[in-house]
Structure 1
Amino acid sequence: MAPSILLSMLLCLSAGSMLMVQGGDPTIFFEWNVTYGTVAPLGIPVKGILINGQFPGPNINSTTNNNIMVNVFNYLDEPFLLTWNGVQHRKNSWQDGVLGTMCPIPPGKNYTYHFQVKDQIGSYMYYPVTVMHKAAGGFGGLRVNSRPLIPVPYDEPADDYTIIAGDWFNKGYTTLKRILDSGRNLGRADGVHINGKVARGDGKDEPLFTMEAGKTYRYRICNVGIKTSLNVRFQGHTMKLVEMEGSHTVQNDYDSLDVHVGQCYTVLVTANQEPRDYYVVASTRFTRREFTAMGIIRYKNGRAGPSYDIPRPPVGWAWSLNQFRTFRWNLTASAARPNPQGSYKYGGINITRTIKLANTAEMVDGKLRYAINGASYVEPTTPLKLAEYYNVADKVFKYDDIADEPPAQISKVALEPIVLNVTHKDFVEIIFENHETAIQSWHMSGHSFFAVAVETGRWSPEKRMNYNLLDAVSRHTVQVFPNSWAAVLVAFDNSGMWNIRSEIWDRHYLGQQLYVSILSPNRSLRDEYNLPEDVMVCGVVEGMPRPPPYNS
């Protein structure tokens, strides 16, 4: 084939995506244009963020071990950055898409993310991390399918659907940012959407999904909202839970599932009811006023619209806690194992360090801030990882500014970057303590952890007797109920700078996050990739000579 013809074909394909099979694992390429556009999930037009004109954004459909390249063009009037929630980026925090590791993409510029989805079969999502962009869109689903040689523990479904649901504010993200910058609370959301829509129930709604009687379908359910837990259910149908956040689960049936902010579940739904329309329903949880969104699921050759008998959500967070206790890891599945290999025997690994992280709401100079162990995170102008790599960390942050134990009393909240220094391959116990009356949702990037316990009251060492040390699900997000705690165990084997953050986005914006630094002990490519050649630089490292790369 002539080079000019091949180039023309590649240019034509690049507007969407293409598969390039190279000497190693296949590479999938996407080109995304990020723009403003009018969206109206609840019927009220607001300025939203679109990807290639879509709200929500396009699905990434990949297979384990694929290399993914996403060329993002920022056509907004302010910097923009995407994170790939739950993708572990082995040895590659450079591509995590958070402000502690990457400079945001300036207006009118582009950046190409390059990462591999390795050994992570499951359902994930992406979303913006800059300012309050997440409240306006720019989010979507990310699937990692199994290779044919690695069977999943259920039959191939008839089709594969993604549900991107979340709370929604009609004020617009710039107004939400002004509210937070002024020191006030956001208050409650105005409603809920499912894939950017809400069914009106007037008989004119187009279906979100289609099923055929007798067949089974895979639904990937993600809560991409900014602060509200959701309960999701299928009218007239049960869900068989098969995977959450990259781990196959024991396959229990559920009438409804609580999906907390930042979490993704995969369920199987069998079309075993009378052929007609049915609702998929998402309702807010733990809010004074309940909001519900519905979407149409249409049976092929169905003869009627949906019933108005809408299934109700459960009441109270104790129900949700009990549901958490039913989640178990499928130890017989041959796929979706976490890294490091062998860590599924986590119950026999000695804990080398215990870190307790307590969230609090504090007033600082008359403005609301959210703190962790007496400190509230602020973004430096230089990404933490760049400062560390260029050996100028002392100009940007200090390690271990917070203690491993929360202070008994907070006299003054510090506003600073928070970075914990963790030894490579340490096996760490993290206790998330919630002393407030609002539910929390915590995420860890770069790693999966074993969520061994979620309990009420205060944690003490004696509580370890209640840990699930056999088949706790390996995941990357965990909820913490009011006046409760959650314990997770994690092998910090992935070198880099990794974000531990609140998925409640107003809390994240106002300081409820930190970073964990895991340095390669030998400065070796076996532990961490070099700084990419095309990486964006900013802050104090801009113009500095690039440090020598790792050579082995």
Structure 2
Amino acid sequence: MATSTMRVAAGVLLVVSALATLARAEDPYLFFEWKVTYGTRSLLGVPQKVILINGEFPGPRINCSSNNNIVVNVFNQLDHPLLFTWNGMQHRKNSWMDGMPGTQCPIAPNTNFTYKWQPKDQIGSFFYFPVNGPLHVIPNVITAEFRTFIEIVFENPEKSIDSLHLDGYAFFGVGMGPGTWSPEMRKTYNLLDTVSRHTIQVYPRSWTAIMLTFDNAGMWSVRSNVWERYYLGEQFYISVISPARSLRDEYNMPDNALRCGKVVGLPLPPSYAPAR
């Protein structure tokens, strides 16, 4: 199926509002059932094949409060594998629900999978979208120790703008400029009042620098939001490992985690829970 003729239910707002609540044992649960199918919609007056969620395009809006438990049971009624990723959601301690090929096996046709996650201490409007078609994992993975403070410099030698996204985190864009980055550029960084964000632009033949603390254990995708670049492999993963191996820092792999490739038939990783 040619990607140029397919439109997906992307760009849908996920609205998170902070509401005052009474003390309780557990935050409220919101349950959703999504049936993902093909359909035809006229976009700009031209009928096109699209991906629908419960017959809707764009897909349904999720209205929730910060820290709600979101449970989405996805039924894949397409003819190819499917994942959902949730741009901007940090998935604290829970990269298992990030919905990228490096952290989750795809939902096979005519099967279902249940996502469970929290917009933990987050407020704002976000969007989700399906990752569909033949899914391949880019094997480029770097490791970082939990709570390490790091600087990342992106350089764009091309003639067109790039947009880079980091799952699992908010970071600070501290600087950008033309040409090639050098250590001298640190003198120009904004270290006082820069804005926290999860996506940042890199202008043509320019560089952009970001800083963050890796305080969210798990496997996280860094990728271009420009689909042509992403398709050609502009993506890598950061494996953030906590030496403590504790539920304080990362949840266990869920029992309903999908298995694919070489891990089919293997047991779950050892639990972080103390032995009884």
Q: Same fold (TM over 0.5)?
A: yes
Give how far 1:418 is off. Answer: 0.2
Structure 1 residue 58 corresponds to structure 2 residue 60? yes
Aligned equivalents of 2:214 and 2:186: distance in 1? 20
Give how far 1:456 is off. Answer: 1.5
Task: State the partner residue of 1:81.
Answer: 83
Give 2:213's aligned amino acid. Answer: A
Aligned equivalents of 1:490 and 1:131: distance in 2? 32
Query: Pairwise mapping of residues 497-536 of structure 1 onto structure 2 (< 5 A)?
Result: 497-536=219-258
Task: State the partner residue of 1:438.
Answer: 160
The answer to whether the Cα contact below 8 Å between 1:379 and 1:417 also exists between their aligned partners in 2 is no
SS of the residue 1:40 aligns to = strand
2:128 to 126, 147, 152: 126
Segments of 5+ residues of structure 1 without an aligned counterpart are 1-20, 133-377, 381-415
Give how far 1:547 is off. Answer: 2.9
**Which of these two proteins has the greater Rg computed from alpha carbons?**
1
Aligned equivalents of 1:461 and 1:131: distance in 2? 41
Aligned equivalents of 1:545 and 1:84: distance in 2? 27
Structure 1 residue 487 corresponds to structure 2 residue 248? no
Aligned equivalents of 1:495 and 1:441: distance in 2? 24
Tell me which protein shows more helix as a share of its residues.
1
SS of the residue 2:221 aligns to = strand
SS of the residue 1:485 aligns to = strand
Give 2:136's aligned amino acid. Answer: E
Q: Deviations over 1:189-232 (max 9, x none)?
A: xxxxxxxxxxxxxxxxxxxxxxxxxxxxxxxxxxxxxxxxxxxx
The answer to whether the Cα contact below 8 Å between 2:218 and 2:239 also exists between their aligned partners in 1 is yes
Give 1:86's aligned amino acid. Answer: G
SS of the residue 2:43 aligns to = coil
SS of the residue 1:45 aligns to = strand
Q: Deviations over 1:376-412 (max 9, x none)?
A: xx934xxxxxxxxxxxxxxxxxxxxxxxxxxxxxxxx
Give how far 1:482 is off. Answer: 0.4
Task: State the partner residue of 1:546.
Answer: 268
Give 1:57's aligned amino acid. Answer: G
Aligned equivalents of 1:547 and 1:421: distance in 2? 18
Give 2:194's aligned amino acid. Answer: A
TM-score, normalised relative to structure 2 = 0.88
SS of the residue 1:443 aligns to = strand
Give 1:70's aligned amino acid. Answer: V
Aligned equivalents of 1:448 and 1:131: distance in 2? 28
Alignment length (residue pairs): 252
1:496 to 218, 236, 239: 218
Q: Deviations over 1:231-271 (max 9, x none)?
A: xxxxxxxxxxxxxxxxxxxxxxxxxxxxxxxxxxxxxxxxx
What percentage of aligned pairs have identical amino acids? 57
Does 1 or 2 have the higher relative contact order (CA < 8 Å, sep 6+)?
A: 2
Task: State the partner residue of 2:97.
Answer: 95
Structure 1 residue 471 corresponds to structure 2 residue 228? no
Q: Which has the higher mean CA deviation after the structures are superposed, 533-542 or 86-95?
A: 533-542
Aligned equivalents of 1:131 and 1:465: distance in 2? 44
Q: Deviations over 1:36-82 (max 9, x none)?
A: 00022121111100001010001111111111111111000111111
Q: Deviations over 1:342-370 (max 9, x none)?
A: xxxxxxxxxxxxxxxxxxxxxxxxxxxxx
Give how far 1:131 is off. Answer: 3.4
SS of the residue 1:81 aligns to = strand
The answer to whether the Cα contact below 8 Å between 2:174 and 2:191 also exists between their aligned partners in 1 is yes
Task: State the partner residue of 2:26.
Answer: 24
Aligned equivalents of 1:460 and 1:508: distance in 2? 26
Give 2:86's aligned amino acid. Answer: W
Give how far 1:119 is off. Answer: 1.3
Structure 1 residue 41 corresponds to structure 2 residue 36? no
Aligned equivalents of 1:60 and 1:465: distance in 2? 43
Structure 1 residue 418 corresponds to structure 2 residue 140? yes
Give how far 1:442 is off. Answer: 0.2
Aligned equivalents of 1:34 and 1:489: distance in 2? 38
SS of the residue 1:462 aligns to = helix
Task: State the partner residue of 2:184.
Answer: 462
Aligned equivalents of 1:457 and 1:40: distance in 2? 43
The answer to whether the Cα contact below 8 Å between 1:433 and 1:459 also exists between their aligned partners in 2 is yes
Aligned equivalents of 1:114 and 1:35: distance in 2? 21
State the 4+ residue runs in structure 1 displaced beyond 3 angstroms: none
Task: State the partner residue of 2:8.
Answer: none
Segments of 5+ residues of structure 2 without an aligned counterpart are 1-21
Q: Deviations over 1:509-547 (max 9, x none)?
A: 120000000112121111100010111111111111223
Give how far 1:454 is off. Answer: 2.1
Task: State the partner residue of 1:379.
Answer: 136
Q: 1:25 to 1:490 in 2, by over 3 A?
A: same
The answer to whether the Cα contact below 8 Å between 2:80 and 2:132 also exists between their aligned partners in 1 is no
The answer to whether the Cα contact below 8 Å between 1:50 and 1:56 also exists between their aligned partners in 2 is yes
Query: Pairwise mapping of residues 359-378 of structure 1 onto structure 2 (< 5 A)?
Result: none
| Aligned CA-pair RMSD | 1.6
SS of the residue 1:106 aligns to = coil
